[in-house]
Structure formats: structure tokens, C-alpha cells
Amino acid sequence: MQLITCPWCGPREETEFRYGGQADLAYPADPSALDDEQWARFLFFRDNPKGTFAERWCHDAGCRRWLRAVRDTRTYVFAETGPYGSFPRRSARPERSA
Amino acid sequence: MSRVDGYGRIDRTRTLAFTFDGVGYTAHPGDTLASALLAHGVTTLGTSIRLGRPRGVMGAWTEDPGGLVQIEEPFPEPMLLATTVDVVDGLVARGVAGQGRLAEVADTARYDHRHVHCDVLVVGAGPAGLVAARTAARAGLDVVLVDDRPTPGGTLTGTETVDGRPAPEWVDAVVAELAAAPHVTHLQATTAFGHYDDGFVLALERRGEGSDGGARARDHRIRAGRVVVAAGAIERPIVFEDDDRPGVMLASAARDLLHRHGVLAGREVVVFTVDDSAYAAALDLRQAGASVRVLDGRSEVPPGWTRRCAELDVPVEAGTDVRGTLGSDRVRAALVGESRREVPCDLLLVSGGWNPTAHLFSHVGGPLRWDPELVAFRPAGELPRTTVVGAANGTYALADVLREAGGEDAPTAPPEEITPRGMLWRTAGDPARQFVDIARDATVADIARAVGAGMTSVEHVKRYTTIGTAHDQGKTSGVLASGVTAELLGRPVESLGTTTFRPPFTPVPFAALAGRDRGDLFDPVRTTAVHAWHVAAGAVFEDVGQWKRARHYPAPGEDMAAAVLRECAAVRGSVGIMDGSTLGKIDVRGPDAGVLLDHLYTNLMSTLKVGRVRYGVMCGNDGMVFDDGTVLRLAEDRFLVTTTTGNAAHVLDWMEEWLQTEWPHLRVRLTSVTEQWSIFAVAGPRSRDVVGRVFGDVDVSNDAFGFMTWQDTTLDGVPVRLARISFSGELAFEVSVDAWHAPDLWARLVAAGAEDGITPYGTETMHVLRAEKGYPIIGQDTDGTVTPHDLGMSWAVSKKKPDFVGKRSFARPVATDPQRKQLVSLLPTDATTTLPEGSQIVALPDDGRLPPPPVPMLGHVTSSYRSAALGRPFALALVAGGRDRVGEVVGIPVGDMLIAAQIGGTVLVDPEGARRDG
Ligand SMILES: [Zn+2]
């Protein structure tokens, strides 16, 4: 069982965390502008690299905050963790609808 | 008796009584079952699993592949090693035929977990571990020292000297220093059985039968800054014909039995070795009174040892080997050399060298490398947080061990002579009688078959032959199998390596892993504030997630069907009351609360006026329904969201996820208030009268208190919220109050409804009433592949909002396929059959019989009940293109029958909605 460093709580047991999949896949600014294939890629396709991978984790049984982590999928070793949103994201956030 | 005076750490002043295979024996405190039986000359403990050959003790501890027993008293446990069972008064044990049986009674003993944090965890309290622990303790570190045997010292038996003192004296001094040191925890009888990431080690502490009322065992979950593996080494046998016969034993085991338990395992001893270490066993047994002969497989024998042997009249033969054994239940002679000369013996000691016990290094990915000088695989390479010292690292000479573990602080020991070790996996003989894994009855012939079948990997050979898969996990047979395989393949053993070591190092009872998380403590049980009333009213409960919900309230003599029909009739005829407190409730607050809810619900929430209620559906990005519920607007910047009972935590997580990861700019805060608010549904045509009686200040008329509105009021100063929400189609009120005042308010509503015959109803009745109205239950009528449109809820999907979660997916071709499964009702045409939920739906053939498979499936039944209002059974179902099939008759296989049922719209009761306002 690994230790994962929560940016707010420090190193904590892996079982306190929930995995949230690949990071930096922002919700498209305007989903209606995407064709079916583009939308399907957002919905269903995820990277699966052998090596460094940016991931989302949630400190579920702790502070309940989401964090962003960079982990090596070969060794499981976490290179870094930080607050979610503290790293640049690939595409823009959706416009506020009100 | 083969007990020897002056040897062993047993308490001879006290005698314990035990039975084995129905015969009574005695033992002393400090005895294991193995040592006590050997002391009485009992060498055969059971028979082998496949061939029924006699089996006895071959190792002195957890490495023993042979001495399996079943314990009957004090508590039944299957397949323990006699070498690891401490004798207690009243112990009842028996031998097994390779396999034990699980207890048929519940284990009533207590097992505990402990979470431990330390700077340094030292595994093993032999010379290396003791020195490492002492060094860390002297540096002021938090130290945990665990050792699997009952007493410390490891292989220090009493004949060695450390720092010029007899080893036991030195051990006692180190243990005393550790006991006096602050921040040191020293646990014996504690096996570190698994090593995981980041210094996490699981260790099982065996605490005996808990005469003090304490736990039988403790599972220590240790998080260590650094792990020092000082677990020693395990001696390796040599394979020869009939090497499985009781009386064939590792040289170290005989020495251990003598020095720990004062047991001389044989009187006429042959020692067959290719390693110097067995000479110590030979001399110790000789000095304890046995006659001993050494057969050294090497042509060059150690001169120093040979000289000492000569002094004690122990003949040493060089360059010879053992080819087989004679005897029945116990060895009676060794067959020596090419000529298979008979050398009489009652104990045949074997040493093929040693394998470092590097399991805890391997568990975390530490590689092992073949060392030709050591004739063993040893740890190679560095691991963060992990150090291996002493014999576990392939360092065998005591002086070297102490230096490696203690550095500058190390004690000293006299130098030892070392003669080059021999590499000998097996001697010449019949492969079918050469046992490699005696726990599995697996021989060299089995390995040859695997190799003949084309296997070249030890992992494959292991699975083909089952070598190394028994209780001992190949502690003595694993590397041996690698060596024999290499020999058969004609390849160097280093090219084969070992099989992977995985936790647990030794068997661990499930009860110890479970600890106190059993029975009532296995999973939390959640009850509502009114639970005691439901119990007193005779409710039958069902589990919904962790909640206990009243399912129905049977009157005397009623079964569930009768109770539910009565409860349904009461709600539709007069008034009923249900405890809906388990509904998830989330307080959504902040200036952007409406914006967030517009993103997450399929319909508009931001336009909801304060004081009003709206039903909403939530979908995932894939457009599939994942929850539903009502939303109350409490203030411009505040909503109360309700969720299904089972999904409350998921919905809160879902909302948080979006808020934190996608729209952190939104000024919204989410708070779970599920347990703060109790909710009661008062439903039925008389519900207005009942609520009006209790809340005299509130105008409950339809004009003043319309459908899907809420009002706050007080009752004797206690805040109460009333809402016109109906999940039954009847005139209904939801009454919300804080959990503390909930039992009182429930009682007042029940009392106020007495004149109308108010009837408490449970979740089953609620399910029937909602199904009669075609209201789906998310998770029952849906399964994650159902859109709002499939449910006939296009009305709940906004066409105005530019986007919301799920919207884009509604435009995918798969979502607009007219053959998607849609929610419909089914009325069995016989008007009597209640279709089993989950039943498949097929086209009804003309002859009314189910054709042979394959039969195309049209859908399945999602909900099915008997209806008091309809006077017949009915069902909801997901049917391909269902809405276009209304009026069609389909078939549902039920047992051997094919039941016909007509498809209809989902609303079967009061389709005009005339009953809603009373
Ligand atoms: Zn945290």
C-alpha cells in the first residue's frame, strides 16, 4: 500500500484515495461543436502510457479534495502531486451558462 | 524418550498434557508439538497428500514441508505445522493425510489490528537483527523489532561466542538494552509476512489462547521509514531416492531441536553435506550422546572441522554421497555411494547449503542474483527504504554478520574457516523416487515431464508440477526445483532464477486479517431516528445500502404480499405514512448554485422560484441516467437537492468533482444534510386533513399550498418544513424535521391520523405505488444504459439550455435508435401471474411455446408487483422499441411456462393525474 502525498494533508495511505483517471482532459468548451467521433474520443478514449502519466486522485477519506498527480505506470512511483488546477490544462473550461 | 539433560530452553519443572492421534503425551513449556512428539519417539505424524507415504518433521520451523497436523483443541485449526504449534495443556491434535479440514464452528477468539509507525523496522532477532536494532536504538530512532520465533537469538545456539561471551549471554544483554531503551518495541512470535510499498509491512503476532482475555493474534500494520531485513537463511536439502522418509531431516533442524527443546532427534546419525555448517550439527549431536558419521559430498573437506570430528570420534568420509534410504515409517539405513552401501541410521541429516530468506526484499521488487561462491540466490541491487543484512543477504560467517549489521558499533566473533561450498541438487538414482517437494509428492520425474513438455521457465515448471505451492510455499523446495530443472535443461541455474516470492511468507488466518471487522462491525448499519418505532410496530426491514428501511408492517398472520396489498389500499383509499429519512440530501449554497445545478441536471433549475420544488434527472457524460430526485429552492442562493437513498454519497462526490476539477470558478459549497433531516411522506386522499390537524397554523388548501411547493413552519417552536411532493400519485405531503425531534413528530402525525386509519407503509408499498404511476426507480428500472428518453422522460430534458452533462450524448446515433429499449408496462393476460423481476421478454409464437434456442431477447422485466388498485399483477419492463409496441402481446418464460403479457403505457393508475391535488 503506497503513501500518496495529499497537497493539504501530507502523506496518507493509498486506501484513503480514489482514482479519477487521466488528468488534464477538460470538459469541452462547446460539446455541440464536436462531431460524433470527437465526442466519442472525449467520452471513451484514454491514454495508457508505459511510463509517466498525469492522473486525477481524490482524497476521499481525508479532505475530499481532488489532486493532480504524476505517476510512473511501470513502478507506480509518484513523481509529484499538487492541487487540482495548479497545472496548465489542455482546453478551455466551458463558458458559464448563466 | 530422547530428551537430553542440560539442553534446551524448556521449563522442565512444569509438565503439560496433550494428545496426538488419540494417545496422551507430556511436554514442557517451551515445547512445540514437534519437539514434544520427537521427545517421545513419535517421528511419523501423517501421510502425504497424493501417494499416502509417511510424513514427519524435516525442518525445525516454518520451512518444514512434512509435519502437518490438525488441531482440535483448544480451537480447531487445519494444516498447522507441528514445529510452529506451542504445546498448551489440553492440546488435542492429530496427523493429517496431506490436508486438514476447516472448523465447523465459529471462531470466538478475538483478533486485533494495530497500526504502527516507526523509523526503523528490523525483521529478525538473530545476531544481525539484534545488532541492527541496537544500533538504531542507540541513534535515538523509533525502532520496532519483530521475530517469528518465541524467543530471540535466531541461530545462536549456545556454542558460539560474541564479544568474548557465550552467545546466549550476549543475546540477553542486547534484549535488556532494547527493553530499557525508549522508543523500542520488541515483539517475539511475530512474523512479518508481507512487505508492500513505501515501507509498509504486515506482521502477525501470535499471542496464545488469550487466557488474559486478550486477542489470540494481532495483525500489526507497520509503516516504517526503513525496513531492515535480517530474516536469516533456510537450509536446502539434497534430493536422493526416498528422501521423504521420516528421519530424514535438515541438519539445522536437528541442531535447533537440541538447543531449543533438549531433544535428540536420533541416536545413530548420518550427516550428508556439501556445506561446512552441518559439521556444527554433527558435533553438537555427538556431544549430546549420539553416534555420528559425516559423509561430505565434496572431495575437499574442511580440515578444522575434520580435526574436531576426529577428536570426538566422528568419522568423516569425503567425496561420497547418499543415494537412497531404507526403512518403513522411519529411516533405518542410508544407501551410500555408487555401491549403495547400507549405513545404518535412525536420523539422516542433510545440508545442501543455504538459501537467504530474502522474501521481504523480493516482495517489493528486489532482484535476486545467483552467487556461485555462495551457491545460492542472494539480494542484488538497492531498494529505497530497504536494507538486507546477515544471512538474508548471503553473509553467513558470524563475525561478518555482526559487522554488516552493526558497522563501527559491531560486536566481534571469532573467525571461521570456510571451505568452498559444493553445488549438489541431487544424487544419482531413480527420478520417480527422488522427492523435490515432499508436501506435494512432486519428484524429479515430475520436473522431467515438465521439461519434456517443453517448459523452460521455473514459473511454468512450478505450475505444472505444483512444486512450491503447498503450505510452505517452497521454502526448501523452490531453489532446489530451479537447480534440478537447470540440470535437466543443461543450462546454468543462474539463467533460470527463482519463482516469484509473494506474500504471505507464512499462512495467515483470515480471522486475523478480519480482526474485529466481523458480525455487527463488518459494515456500519445506519438507522433512521424513528427506527425504534418501526421495530416496535413489527416492521420487516430491508437493507438499502447501509440503511435499514422498513419494508412492510405485517399485521398478525399476514405475509408480505397481504401486508403490501393492505398498505397500498390504505394509501389510495385514505392515508398512509412512510419514513423517507434515508433519502440523500445535499445543501447547495452560493451565488452560482443555480449555474451548477443547470450543468448537472437535464432540466433547468436556475429558473425555479424560491418556495417551489422541481423534479430533476442527472445523467453522466454518456447521457445515461444515474440519479433523480427533487430540488427545493430555499433561497436565491440556496437549494436542497434530494437523491436516491443508495446514491447519496455518489451524487455528492459527482457534484464535488465537477466543482473542483472543471468549474472551480463557481462560487458554490456543498454540504451533506442526509442525517440532519428526517423526512416523512404522508400520502393519500386524507393526508391534507392529517397534516392540517397537526399544523393548525398552516393553510393546507390547494390554493394556499399548491403541488410542488414547500413552506416552513414551526411546531412548538421546532422548525418543520412541509412540501407538496408525491411519489404515489396521491395527494401527499413531505414533512421534514431535524432528527432529534423526528420521533415526536412521527408520533403526533400517527396520532392525528388515527381517525382516518393512518397506516404506516414501507418501501415495498412505496415501490408498488410509484410503479402504478410509472415512476422509475433509478438502479432498478435503469442499469446505466438508459437515457431519460428511454424512460419516457423527454419532458425532463431541457431544450433551452445550450449544454448540460449528458446533452451531447443524446445526439449520438446510438441514443436516437428507435430500437432502443424503452420503459413500458406489462399486464400478464392471465391476470394472475406475477412475473419474476429480471425475466427475459421474447416474441410470443403462435403456438404459445418457447422455441428452441437461440431466441431473440426483446428486453427484460425491471419491476413486478401485485396491484391493489388494479386488482391484478403488473410489471414495468425495458423493451426494444417498446413505445411502438403498445398493445402487442409478448412472451415471458417463467419456469416451464411461457406467460403472455400485453405491453402498455407506463401509467396504469390515474393516468389523468386527478388524484394529485386531493
Ligand atoms: Zn487531503
**CA atoms of B250 and B258, how far apart (whole Å):** 13
Average pLDDT of span B371-391: 95
B653, B660, B812 member nearest A84 (Cβ): B660
Does the distance separating the beta carbons of B803 and A94 come in below 8 Å? yes
Search chain B and give the residue with CA nearest A96.
B595
The reply to whether A12 falls in a domain is: yes
Let me know if residue A95 belongs to a domain: no
pLDDT (average), residues B732-744: 98
Q: How many domains does chain A have?
A: 1
Distance CA(B426)–CA(B403), nearest Å, equals 35
CA distance A48 to chain B (A): 21
Residue A59 has pLDDT above 70, yes or no: yes
The pLDDT of residue A39 is above 60 = yes
Range B696-701 average pLDDT:
96
C-alpha cell at A62: 481525508
Q: Supply A66's cell numbers.
A: 481532488
Summary mean pLDDT of chain B: 96
Q: Is residue A96 pLDDT above 60, yes or no? A: no
| CB within 8 Å: B803 and A32 | yes
What are the φ/ψ torsions at residue B147 (nearest 5 degrees)? Answer: -145, 140
CB-based contact B803 A34, cutoff 8 Å: no
What is the CB neighbour count within 10 angstroms for residue B531?
20
- Cα(A58) to ligand 1 centroid in Å equals 8
pLDDT of residue B98: 85
Mean pLDDT of the A83-90 span: 61
Q: How large is the greatest C-alpha to C-alpha distance in chain B, in angstroms?
A: 115
- In this predicted model, what pLDDT tens digit does every residue of B39-54 receive, in sequence order? 999 999 999 999 999 9
Q: Measured between alpha carbons, how far is residue B607 from residues A58, B19, B601 in Å?
A: 32, 81, 13
- Is residue A43 included in any domain, yes or no? no
**For B545-584, what is each residue's pLDDT tens digit?**
999 999 999 999 999 999 999 999 999 999 999 999 999 9
Residue A6, in any domain of the structure: yes
Residue B498: alpha-carbon gap to chain centroid: 27
Nearest chain B residue to A33 by CA: give it: B808
Q: Indicate the range of A83-97, B122-136, B607-621, B828-842 predicted with least confidence.
A: A83-97
H or E, element range at B452 = helix B444-452
Residues pairing with B129 in the sheet: none
pLDDT, residue B103, reads 86
Place of cell 495529499: A6
Q: Do B198 and A32 touch (CB under 8 A)?
A: no
What residue type is assigned to position A4 of the chain? I
| Predicted local distance difference test score (pLDDT) of residue A88 | 45
Residue B157: what pLDDT? Answer: 81
Q: Are B129 and B122 in contact (CB under 8 A)?
A: yes
Nearest residue to B207 via CA among B198, B218, B196: B218
Whether B135 and B178 have beta carbons less than 8 Å apart is answered as: no
Q: Determine, yes or no, domain membership for A45.
A: no
* A66 → closest Cβ in B592, B621, B661: B661
Q: Counting every residue, how long is chain B?
A: 918
| Statement: residue A97 has pLDDT above 50 | no
Angle CA B705–B709–B710, to nearest 5? 90
Give the percent of chain B with pLDDT over 70.
Answer: 99
User: Is the pLDDT reported for residue B861 higher than 60?
Assistant: yes
Q: Is A90 exposed, middle or buried (0-12, 13-18, 19+ CB in 10 A)?
A: exposed
CATH code, A65: 3.30.2270.10
Q: Which residues of A touch B599 (CB under 8 A)?
A: 94, 97
A70 vs A79: CA distance, rounded Å:
5
Pairing mode, strands B347-351 and B268-273:
parallel
How distant is the Cα of B452 from the closest Cα of chain A, in angstroms? 35
What is the secondary structure of A21-85 as a DSSP string?
A: EES--PPPS-GGGS-HHHHHHHHH-----SSEEEEEEE-TTTT--EEEEEEETTT--EEEEEETT
Residues B98-108: what's their mean pLDDT? 86
Tell me: the pLDDT tens digits for B431-463? 999 999 999 999 999 999 999 999 999 999 999
Which residues does residue B589 pair with via DSSP β-bridges, in sequence order?
A: B638, B669
Any CB–CB contact under 8 A between A78 and chain B? no
Helices (H) and strands (E) in chain A, counts: 1, 6
Cβ within 8 Å of residue B457, ≥6 positions away: B496
Instruction: Grade residue A50 by pLDDT with cuts at 50, 70 and 90.
Output: very high
Chain A residues close to B653, C-beta within 8 Å? 18, 58, 60
ipTM reported for the complex, 2 dp:
0.90
Asked whether residue A93 is domain-assigned, the answer is no
pLDDT of residue B564: 97
CA of B364 to the centre of ligand 1 (A): 26
By the 10 Å C-beta count (0-12 exposed, 13-18 middle, 19+ buried), B38 is classed as buried
**Cα–Cα distance for residue pair B472/B64, rounded to 1 Å:** 7
Strand partners, B615: B630
Residues of A in contact with B802 (CB under 8 A): 30, 32, 97
Residue in B closest to A11 by C-alpha: B198
A78 belongs to a structural domain: yes
Residues of chain B contacting residue A29, judged by C-beta atoms under 8 Å apart: none
For helices B444-452 and B458-465, what crossing angle results, to 10°?
120
Type of residue found at B823:
L
B595·A98 Cβ contact <8 A: yes
Average pLDDT over residues B178-195: 97
Ligand 1 centroid – CA B881 distance (Å): 48
Place of cell 522418509: B245
Closest Cα in chain B, distance from residue A1 (Å): 5
Q: Which residue in A32, A39, A97 is closest to B595 by CB distance?
A: A97
Domain that residue A64 falls in: 1-25+53-86
DSSP conformational letter for B660: I
Report yes or no on A75 lying in a domain: yes
